[in-house]
Amino acid sequence: MQTAYTVLILLMLVSVSRLVGRVIPLPLPLVQICAGALLAWPTLGLHVALDPELFLFLFLPPLLFSDGWRMPKRELWRLRGPILTLAVGLVLFTVVGAGYFIHWLLPSIPLPVAFALAAVLSPTDAVAVSAISQNRLPTPLMHMLQGEALMNDASGLVTFKFALAAAVTGVFSLANASLTFVLVAVGGLAVGVALSWLVGRLRSWMIARGWDDPATHVVFMLLLPFAAYVLAERLGASGILSAVAAGMMQSWLDLLPRQTSTRLLNRSVWSLLEFAFNGLIFLLLGLQLPDIIKAVASHETSLWPTLLYRCLDVLAIFLVLLVLRFVWVQSIWRLSGLLRRWRGKGEMTQVPTARSCWLLTVGGVRGAVTLAGVLSVPMLMGGVAFPERDLLIFIAAGVILLSLIAACIALPLLLRGIEKSPDDKRRNEVREAWRKTAEAAIHALEAEEAEEAEEAKPHDAAQAALAAELKARIMSEYRHQLEVFNDSAEAQALAFQMDLLERRMRLKALRAQRLELYSLSRQHQIGDDVLREVLAELDLSEANLGQVK
């Protein structure tokens, strides 16, 4: 029962921390880390023992799957060059540069272990950056950070596993490691895509036979990242890349017919899981902080001098990571400009400024994936304690904290004076999509009306008149949509005013329906099953109205 109580307490703290984060002007991860540290204070004394392999299996696959699902694929492809250089090239650059520096700074950490630590410090967290910047980052930079965070989760953790294996076995060959890396990566991607495609085919087969219960389909998708991870690991491929590929593939397969309810439920469930899992990871970091500090200073005679030196080590490592990232971003942008001129394509349309370079540099915030990876370091290596495991976790936790604090201070300063320009291209695409879909609906109704007029029989006159009236009503709604997206500013203003008034009226009517429904339930005129069914329809109708001011 103690485990169940602990889980419930942590979930409650995740929810409370979200509310506290709205009051305290700090990023949610920092609030959750502080909450976990307070909970682990000796007076409260909550202690959670973590199994590294279980921790890695429970948290990483769903988080990576969700990242792959959410990533805008078109932007990922358009910015593939910068994203690949950040997600792959920068990871390798960081592993080599920071790995040698860590080994030089702390000789007690073997070189392969230092490489493993540098690799697990490479993944970034775009969600934390978005929360800190309050979505004020220029859209291309935000897309680059999102794509980098998606792909360097995989490249950093795969490199981490290779470095960890070299540390455990004591054998490392660059040629063999490079070939194995490619095979493991390609195998992981193939497993994730194939398994996701099979699940999509299974769901299509079920839907065709009327088995379209949303809960069943959502459970399948909840199990998919774990299945992709386990299957790839059993086949000797990368489970991490398999989970990412499964998420990216599933975002295409999710557009199945007759699945509106499933999609609504699936979005809600995954939003809840992502929020809970991210929160739990940072809470667990806070809970582990006292034990991490004690473990680091356990072999020393005095606590505070040792802790001070270790904090200075963490600061030095963080600064080196920051410098390496800035040097890489600057070098790649300059090299890209030289290549464009050499190919005769002229100068770049958007010349990178020093501010944009620093935004990309400071935007490399470390987060949940780094913590999950470092906590998966095994307790033992060859029957003895893993070298400096506690120090590795201390360094990773310190870098996460410093990157969050640095982003909280630097990003608002760098974004000062920058007003995020409206995304006119995206807004035009939305308008065009609504216009074309409304026209398609009107054309389909007109075509059906013409076909029915040709096949109409004399005794069907009443039914035909009723159908014509209903179609005219539906077509008027679509024509109203066309008026909303008319190019005329006056027409748009009038249409939006009418639309707002209509939504207010519909909202008022829906709320009156809900109050009457509650009254019928209190008077025992309807049962609970009827209440739930009708209430669900009313809630969905209100959700479709959107936010009404």
For residue 384, the SS3 value is: strand
CA–CA separation, 316 vs 424, rounded Å?
A: 43
**Segment among 47-61, 299-313, 388-402 with least mean pLDDT:** 47-61
Structure tokens at 257: 């017919």
- Which pLDDT band holds residue 433 (cuts at 50, 70, 90)? low
pLDDT given at position 348: 45
CB contact set of 179 (below 8 Å; sequence gap of 6+): none
Q: Is the per-residue pLDDT at 16 higher than 50?
A: yes
449 and 473 Cβ atoms separated by less than 8 Å = no
Mean pLDDT of the chain: 78
**Segment among 4-18, 274-288, 342-356 with least mean pLDDT:** 342-356
CA distances from 72 to 146, 426, 483, 531 (A): 9, 12, 29, 39
How does DSSP classify residue 40?
Answer: T
Q: Which residue, among 150, 186, 149, 179, has the nearest Cα to 162 in the 3D structure? A: 179
Structure tokens at 537: 């329809």
Q: Is the per-residue pLDDT at 391 higher than 80?
A: yes
pLDDT given at position 319: 95
pLDDT given at position 82: 83
- Which pLDDT band holds residue 104 (cuts at 50, 70, 90)? very high
Residue range 160-184: average pLDDT?
Answer: 74
Is this structure's pTM higher than 0.75?
Answer: no
pLDDT given at position 346: 47
Q: Which CATH number fits domain 2-421: 1.20.1530.20, 3.50.50.60, 3.40.190.10, 1.10.357.10?
A: 1.20.1530.20
pLDDT given at position 349: 41
pLDDT given at position 50: 66
pLDDT given at position 262: 77
Radius of gyration (C-alpha) of the chain in whole angstroms = 28
Q: Which residue, among 399, 365, 315, 393, has the nearest Cα to 152 in the 3D structure? A: 365
Write out pLDDT tens, residues 334-367.
777 677 667 665 444 444 577 888 888 888 888 7
pLDDT given at position 351: 45
Write out pLDDT tens, residues 482-521.
766 666 667 667 767 777 777 777 777 777 877 887 877 7
CA distances from 176 to 93, 181, 238, 291 (A): 19, 8, 16, 38
pLDDT given at position 57: 81
CA distances from 256 to 65, 202, 309, 512 (A): 19, 11, 57, 35
pLDDT given at position 499: 73
Residue range 403-429: average pLDDT?
Answer: 73
CB contact set of 11 (below 8 Å; sequence gap of 6+): 276, 280
Residue, of 196 and 29, whose pLDDT is higher: 196
Q: Parse the chain into domains and list their residue ranges.
A: 2-421, 426-485, 501-549
Q: Is the per-residue pLDDT at 299 higher than 60?
A: yes
413 and 355 Cβ atoms separated by less than 8 Å = no
For residue 381, the SS3 value is: strand
Residue range 297-324: average pLDDT?
Answer: 84
For residue 228, the SS3 value is: helix
How many CA atoms within 13 Å lie on the side-chain side of 74?
1
Handedness of CA 501, 506, 510, 512 (dihedral sign): positive
pLDDT given at position 317: 94
Cα dihedral 273, 274, 276, 277, rounded to 10, equals 100
Residue, of 490 and 82, whose pLDDT is higher: 82
H-helix or E-strand spanning residue 380:
strand 380-381
pLDDT given at position 98: 93
CA–CA separation, 458 vs 475, rounded Å?
A: 25
Residue range 180-209: average pLDDT?
Answer: 86
How does DSSP classify residue 385?
Answer: E
The number of angstroms, rounded, from the C-alpha of 221 to the middle of its chain's C-alpha atoms is: 16
pLDDT given at position 111: 87
DSSP string, 286-338: HHHHHHHHHHHHTTSS-HHHHHHHHHHHHHHHHHHHHHHHHHHHHHHHHHHHH
